[in-house]
Amino acid sequence: MLKIGNYNKLKLKRIAKTCAWLESEDKDIQLPKREIPEGASEGDEIRVFVFNDTKDTLRATTMEPSAVIDQFAYMVVTSKTEIGAFLAWGIKKDLYLPERRMIKELKVGEKILIRIIMNFEKDGVIADADWKRYIKEDQKEQLKEGDKVNLIVMDSTSLGTTVIVDNKYIGLVYKSEVYKTPYIGQRMTGYVLKLREDGKIDISFKRKGWNSVIDSHDIVLDALKKAGGFLPLHDKSAPEEIRDMLNISKKIFKKSTGNLYADGTINITDKGIELKKKKD
């Protein structure tokens, strides 16, 4: 079944001069020729995002939208009309926000939180700015402490950072758990720290215990590779310096580098850490 507002694998039926046609159950869907994946030919299945270009026309793209149906996202208002507004979607088609789905007067350039839903005719997708109606409070039935979850950053308060959890719940990352303040709308992964009796969820950006050390191995190694094999961080580096560069605590940094040194992956010097060369 074709999923509008989501990703589909469709057969590349025909390639014309300026476009290609993808085979679907109802009628073929057009894809710009320039977006055909390199090496793909007629008869191949390709992954595309399908959206309603007009009321009666579906289109496909290999571009990645900022969100798909049933997801929350922060989007920028690109234009306004008497019947609603249009939001930057990350593809060449803006997402329509009907006037009846707005909760306040909007300005062009404003960034707002929305949920992508099916339209009233059930033949396309629209945005809904009344996002609170989609938040659930039965998280104890779905989540357990230690679960890995997907997050969208909402805002920062005196307590910490408010996040949307798995496109369903609201959670809080306390200030003590935030090493580097994320930006509003940022998508991250996190872990369920505690499910409270009042229905609130405590979230951490880092997995607790030994697993957090294992996770930070990849963080340190990735940062080393991007920096050309050397980072000016060591045991005497300030905690703030480590947090700014790696977004982990000094305690986790020391455990991770100790383990990486012990297994022969890095060298530790007075000036910093460096990837071991093969001849070492």
Q: What is the DSSP letter of 157?
A: -
Residue 280's pLDDT band (cuts 50, 70, 90): very low
Q: Three-class SS string for 24-92?
A: CCCCCEEEEHHHCCCCCCCCCEEEEEEEEEECCEEEEECCCCCCCCCCEEEEEEEEEECCEEEECCCCC
Predicted pLDDT at 210: 44
Q: What is the DSSP letter of 182?
A: P
Q: Cβ(38)–Cβ(47) under 8 Å?
A: no
Q: Element (H or E) spanning 256, and its range? A: helix 250-262
pLDDT, average across residues 9-19:
93
Pick the CATH number of 210-275 from 1.10.10.10, 3.40.50.700, 3.40.640.10, 3.40.50.720: 1.10.10.10
Structure tokens at 154: 């909402």
**Residue in the block written with tokens 């469709």:** 10
Cβ of 98: how many Cβ atoms within 10 Å? Answer: 15
Of 261, 269, 143, give the one whose Cα is nearest residue 196. 143
| pLDDT of 125 higher than 90 | yes
pLDDT, average across residues 21-48:
92
Tell me what the pLDDT averaged over the chain comes to. Answer: 89
Domain 72-132: CATH architecture, name and number where available = Beta Barrel (2.40)
Q: Element (H or E) spanning 198, and its range? A: none
Structure tokens at 91: 């593809």
Structure tokens at 202: 């405590």
CATH T-level assignment (fold) for domain 6-61: OB fold (Dihydrolipoamide Acetyltransferase, E2P) (2.40.50)
Sequence-distant (6+) residues with CB within 8 A of 153 are 161, 162, 163, 182, 183, 184, 185, 186, 187, 188
Beta strand 187-195 with 169-174: parallel, antiparallel or unpaired? unpaired
Distances from the Cα of 132 to the Cα of 151, 164, 180, angstroms: 16, 11, 27
The answer to whether the 139-204 and 210-275 domains have the same CATH topology is no
Where exactly are the structural domains of the chain? 6-61, 72-132, 139-204, 210-275
Domain 139-204 coded CATH 2.40.50.140: yes
Cross-strand partners of 191:
148, 204
Q: Which amino acid is at 98?
A: P
pLDDT in tens, 66-92: 999 999 999 999 999 999 999 999 999
